[in-house]
Amino acid sequence: MSLSRAEVEKVSLLGRLQLTPAELDLMTTQLSAVVGYIEQLKELSTDDVEPMAHAVPTSNVFRDDVVTPSADRALILSNAPHADGEFYLVPAVLGE
């Protein structure tokens, strides 16, 4: 199966990647090859197979509802590309 350039472009918006026209072309070819390869799974009948989301079958792992100290604000904001000492800053969000 091959992907269209338009599909790849749509996926690039969903995945929040800005691709150049050349990258879009290359990505379309390469993704089509990989998708073509993984399509071989269709050969297998898996109707009665339980999906395996976890490698280890465990359940009910909980934490007690006990407060632990939060991180120092200066430390947690120190990695932010843009902050004012109190908040993270992003370009004005319009609409929503």
Partner 1 sequence: MALYQKTATELLGLLNAGQVTSEELTRAYAERIAQVDPKVGAYLRVDVNGALEQARTIDARRKRGEPLGKLAGVPVAVKDLLCAQGELTTCASRMLETYRAPYDSTVVAKLRAADAVLLGRTNMDEFAMGGSTENSAFQKTRNPWDLERTPGGSSGGAAACVAADEACLSIGTDTGGSIRQPAALCGITGMKPTYGRVSRYGLVAFASSLDQAGPMARTAEDAALLLEVISGHDPHDATSVNVPVPSYSQNVREPLQGLTVGLVREHFAAGLDGEVESAVREAVKVYESLGAKVKEVSFPHAEYGVAVYYIIAPCEASSNLARYDGVHYGRRTDEAKLIAELDAERKQLLAAGKKREAESLDTSLVRLYRKSRAEGFGSEVKRRIMLGTYALSSGYYDAYYLKALKVRRLIRQDYDKAFEQVDLIAGPCTTSPAFKIGEKVDDPLAMYLVDLYTVSANLAGVGGISIPCGFSKQGLPIGLQLQGPPLAEDKLLRAAHMYQTATDWHTRRPKLA
Partner 2 sequence: MTDKPAPYTIVIGLETHVQLQTATKLFCGCSTKFGAPPNTQTCPVCTGHPGTLPVMNRRAFELSLQTAAALNCNIATYTKWDRKQYYYPDLPKGYQISQYDLPFSYEGWLEIGDPKGKFEPKRVRIIRAHLEEDAGKSMHDEHAGKADSKIDLNRTGTPLLEIVTHPDLRSPAETKAYLTELKLLLTHLGVSDCNMQEGSLRVDANVNLHIETPTGKVATPIVEIKNMNSFRAVEKAVAYEAERQYSVWQETGKKLGDPGVFKQTRGWDDTANVTRGQREKEESSDYRYFPDPDLVPVTVTAEQIGAVRQSLGELPAQIRTRLEVSYGLTPYDSDVIVNQGRTFITYFTTAADIAGDGKTASNWLQQDVLRVMGERNLTIESYPVPAAALGDLLKRVRAGEVDTSRGREVLQRMFDTNETAAEAMQALGIEQVDESALMALCEELVAANPKVVVDVKAGKMQAAGAFVGQAKKKNPNANPARVRELCLEIIAKLP
Contact residues for partner 2, defined by CB under 8 A? 10, 13-14, 16, 53-54, 58-68, 70-71, 73, 76-77, 82, 84, 86-96
User: Among 69, 86, 68, which Cα is nearest to 77's?
Assistant: 86
87 binds partner 1 (CB under 8 A): no
CA dist 90 to 18, 50, 76, 82, 93, Å?
18, 43, 16, 7, 8
For partner 2, give the closer residue by CB, 45 or 70: 70
Contacts of 82 (CB under 8 A, 6+ apart): 88, 89, 90
Min dist CB 54 to partner 2, Å, is 6
Q: Which does 73 bind (CB under 5 to 8 A by kind): partner 1, partner 2, none?
A: partner 2
Residue with tokens 């297998």: 44
Read off the DSSP letter of residue 83: B
Binding site for partner 1 (CB under 8 A): 3, 7-8, 11-19, 23, 27, 30-31, 33-35, 37-38, 40-42, 44, 46, 49-56, 58, 61, 63, 71, 75-76, 78-82, 88, 90-95
